[in-house]
Amino acid sequence: MSALDPVTLQVMLGALRAACDEMGAVLVRSAHSANIKERRDASTALFDERGRMVMQAEHIPVHLGAMPSAVAAVLDERHEPGAAWILNDPYRGGTHLPDITVIAPLFHERELIGFAASRAHHADVGAVEPGSMPADSRSLDDEGVVIPPTRLDDDTLRELAAQMRNPPQREADLRAQLAAGRAGAERVAALIERFGLDSFRAALEETLDYAERRTRARIAELPDGVRSASDVLEAAEGDLRLQLEARLDGDELTLDFSGSADQHDGNLNCPLAVTLSACYFALRVLTDPDVPPCEGAYRPLTVIAPEGSLLNARPPAAVAAGNVETSSRVADLVLAAFGHALGQGTMNNLTLGNDEFTYYETLGGGQGACADADGPSAVHVAMSNTLNTPIEALELEFPLRAVEYGLRRGSGGGGRHRGGDGVVRELEALAEMRYSLITERRRHSPPGADGGEPGARGRNLVNGEELPAKAAGTLNPGDRLRIETPGGGGHGTD
């Protein structure tokens, strides 16, 4: 039984959520890059002193499920008040290199009581390709500066920023992450002052147990048995197969990806933390999306991904696309195994830049229909939860002109309930720049369910000429790049 009465526990839950939300607001409002301040490609969470995630803000799913691995990477280090840590190494707690994590230890009277962590996608981390999201990377070294778990002080911050494009902006965004950590520390300190350290710790324990109980209860409502699904990723050299067997046994779920493709020479590889993150997201969708988002909710889940496979790659495999595209497919597989129509299944990653600027965007598309409703249109689906860059901000800050931005009408799959429509976004270059496209669902459509039709495949074009799913090149002034994102699958027959 809980050491706290239900009312106090709910007050604590609300306070923890609010603390994470405030951390996110501080980060977004303090950042300088459009990628964070406009698109809000950043996430925040709180952890206890054992490295267990006790609360997260509802930010970017692929960030948050993987962030516990980052905290675990620094857990055994020597911690001191005011001394933060930084990392982006995908094989030591990161996801892909542009996602930089800053971790601030939390203290009460010089006793370590937890951690405040933030992860943000930085507009550049020093790769040869501007924006550091190369479509054709073959190893981690091709993707930018690799940061192992490192104590973050002013000298380290400036040294790292100097290795990346636009150092003042990189430094400002990192300082925004430090500010987010301080905001988290202040809110936790206020909670302890109000309720006492013992009650605070009891609340963290009960939050984890409460989330576990709710998740187990919902899993137990699903029929026991084995479900399976398979799909492919669209690599340059051909399709890469992913396989899932989902086993339900009472109040526990096992997701077994044995039989999936081995890691490959491109960048669709996932570190295990990313695979886990996608599975955590799918579990919440299938069970109880309103459960407190914390480690306790994931205790009933076991994930099997053989080492050396595409979903548990070994260093120094490239991972730029694994974090964004393969994670989307992992979530798709789990949802498909349980009979769901699928959404666009891609983040439609677009990177533009030169020595003067870098611009990164993920584009929304169609979501799959449900058994009782059409799928929403023009939304970020599954592992992404970012906003778009507003046209006004885009044209003000970058040498780009928006030619068209609107719904891709009719791209959703038909059925008793239609899948959502994708979007069309066409940009004209006003200066010479490089482009890099990392996309999916260009060869294979998002499938429907229960007889529903698939959504339309996406398309990438430069000056009207269609490009493959993964492509890079140079835009000259006047060139136009057009992206038509996929629609979602339909559900049921007409």
Q: SS3 sequence, the chain?
A: CCCCCHHHHHHHHHHHHHHHHHHHHHHHHHCCCHHHHCCCCEEEEEEECCCCEEEECCCCHHHHCCHHHHHHHHCCCCCCCCCEEEECCHHHCCCCCCEEEEEEEEEECCEEEEEEEEEEECCCCCCCCCCCCCCCCCEHHHHCCCCCCEEECHHHHHHHHHCCCCHHHHHHHHHHHHHHHHHHHHHHHHHHHHHCHHHHHHHHHHHHHHHHHHHHHHHHCCCCEEEEEEEEEEECCEEEEEEEEEEEECCEEEEECCCCCECCCCCCCCCHHHHHHHHHHHHHHHCCCCCCCCHHHHCCEEEECCCCECCCCCCCECCHHHHHHHHHHHHHHHHHHCCCCCCCCCCCEEEEECCCCEEEECCCECCCCECCECCCCCECCCCCCCCCCCHHHHHHHCCEEEEEEEEECCCCCCCCECCCCEEEEEEEECCCEEEEEECCCCCCCCCCECCCCCCCCCEEEECCEEECCEEEEEECCCCEEEEECCCCCCECCC
Determine the pLDDT at residue 1: 40
Determine the pLDDT at residue 245: 98
pTM summary value: 0.95
Determine the pLDDT at residue 381: 81
Determine the pLDDT at residue 386: 84
What pLDDT tens digit does each residue of the chain (494 aa) get?
446 788 888 899 999 999 999 999 999 999 999 999 999 899 999 999 999 999 998 778 777 778 899 999 999 999 999 999 999 999 998 999 999 999 999 999 999 999 999 999 999 999 999 999 999 999 999 999 999 999 999 999 999 999 999 999 999 999 999 999 999 999 999 999 999 999 999 999 999 999 999 999 999 999 999 999 999 999 999 999 999 999 999 999 999 999 999 999 999 999 999 999 999 999 999 999 889 889 999 999 999 999 999 999 999 999 999 999 999 999 999 999 999 999 999 999 999 999 999 999 999 999 999 999 999 999 998 888 888 899 999 999 999 999 999 999 999 999 999 999 999 999 999 999 999 999 999 999 999 999 999 999 999 999 999 999 999 999 999 999 999 999 999 999 97
